[in-house]
Amino acid sequence: MSGPLGDGSDHKRSDLDARSRSVIGCVRDRLEGPNTIGDSPAFWVGFAVAVAALAVYPFTTDPYTIIQSSRYLALSFLALSLCFIWGYAGVLSFGQVAFFGIAAYAFGIIGINLSSTVGVGVAVVGAVLAGTLSAALLGYFMFYGGVRETYVTIMTLVVTLVLNTFMAQTAGSEWAVGAAQLGGFNGMTDIPSLTVGVGETALVVEGVGLYYALLVALVAAYLGLRVLVNGQFGMTMVAVREDEARTTTFGYDVPFVKLVVFTIGGALAAVGGVFYASWGNYIDPSVFGIAFAALPVVWVSVGGRESLLGAIGATLAIERMRTGLSSGIGPIGSEWALVIVGGLLLCVILFLPAGVAPRLDDLTGELREKRAERSQSTATTEEPAE
Amino acid sequence: MSTPRDINVRQKPAVAATGGATSTVLATKQLTKNFGGLTAVDSVDFSVKEGEVRCLIGPNGAGKSTLLELITGQLSPSEGEIYFDGTDLTEMDTHDRIDTGISVKFQSPHVYENLSVEENLQVPLQRTDRDAGKVSEETLDRIALSDEREEPASDLSHGEKQRLEIGMAVTLDPTLMLLDEPVAGMSVDETADVAALIRSLHDDGMTFLVVEHDMDFVRQISDRVTVLNQGEIFREGPIAEIEADEDVRRIYLGENA
Q: pLDDT category, B117, cuts 50, 70, 90?
A: very high
Residue of A250, A254, A258, A259 to mutate, interface with B, max B Cβ within 10 Å: A250
Least confident range from A30-44, A91-105, B145-159, B165-179: namely A30-44
Are residues B100 and B108 in contact, defined by beta-carbon separation less than 8 angstroms?
A: no
Reduce the DSSP state of residue B47 to 3 states and report it: strand
Q: Rounded to an integer, what distance in angstroms lies between the CA atom of residue A255 and that of residue A213? A: 35
**pLDDT exceeds cutoff 70 at B2:** no
- For position B5, what pLDDT does the model report? 37
- A250:B110 CB<8 A: no
- For position B3, what pLDDT does the model report? 41
Contacts of B116 in chain A (CB under 8 A): 34
- For position B80, what pLDDT does the model report? 93
Q: Does B110 touch chain A (CB under 8 A)?
A: yes
pLDDT above 70 coverage of chain A, percent: 90
- A250:B168 CB<8 A: yes
Q: Span A245-251, mean pLDDT?
A: 92
Q: Does B106 touch chain A (CB under 8 A)?
A: yes
**A270, amino acid identity:** A
| Element housing B235 (H / E) | strand B232-238
Q: What is the ipTM of this complex?
A: 0.84
**pLDDT exceeds cutoff 90 at A362:** no
**pLDDT exceeds cutoff 80 at B91:** yes
Q: pLDDT category, A334, cuts 50, 70, 90?
A: low
Output phi, psi for A204, to 5 deg. -80, 125
Q: Span A1-14, mean pLDDT?
A: 43
CB-count exposure of residue A145 (10 Å: 0-12, 13-18, 19+): exposed
- Find the closest chain B residue to A231 by CA distance: B126
CB pairs under 8 A between A and B: 58
Residue of A236, A249, A252 to mutate, interface with B, max B Cβ within 10 Å: A249
- B168:A253 CB<8 A: no
Q: Rounded to an integer, what distance in angstroms lies between the CA atom of residue A244 and that of residue A260? A: 15
- For position A270, what pLDDT does the model report? 98
- For position A203, what pLDDT does the model report? 81
Q: pLDDT category, A365, cuts 50, 70, 90?
A: confident
Q: pLDDT category, A167, cuts 50, 70, 90?
A: very high
A250: nearest CB among B96, B106, B127: B127
Reduce the DSSP state of residue A45 to 3 states and report it: helix
A251: nearest CB among B95, B112, B115: B95
Are residues A274 and A261 in contact, defined by beta-carbon separation less than 8 angstroms?
A: no
Cβ neighbour number for residue A123 with a 10 Å cutoff:
26
Q: Rounded to an integer, what distance in angstroms lies between the CA atom of residue B197 and that of residue B163? A: 9
- A253:B115 CB<8 A: no
Of B60, B62, B38, B51, which Cα lies nearest the Cα of B198? B51
Q: Rounded to an integer, what distance in angstroms lies between the CA atom of residue A320 and that of residue A335? A: 16
Q: Classify strands B224-229 and B53-57 as parallel, antiparallel or unpaired.
A: parallel
- Find the closest chain A residue to B69 by CA distance: A249
pLDDT above 90 coverage of chain B, percent: 51
Q: Rounded to an integer, what distance in angstroms lies between the CA atom of residue B30 and that of residue B49? A: 18
Max mean pLDDT range (A79-88, B28-37, B67-76): A79-88
A249: nearest CB among B104, B114, B116: B104
Q: pLDDT category, A276, cuts 50, 70, 90?
A: very high
Cβ neighbour number for residue B123 with a 10 Å cutoff:
25
Reduce the DSSP state of residue B178 to 3 states and report it: strand
The 10s digit of each residue's pLDDT in B38-57 is: 899 999 999 999 999 999 99
Contacts of B111 in chain A (CB under 8 A): 246
Mean of pLDDT over chain A: 88
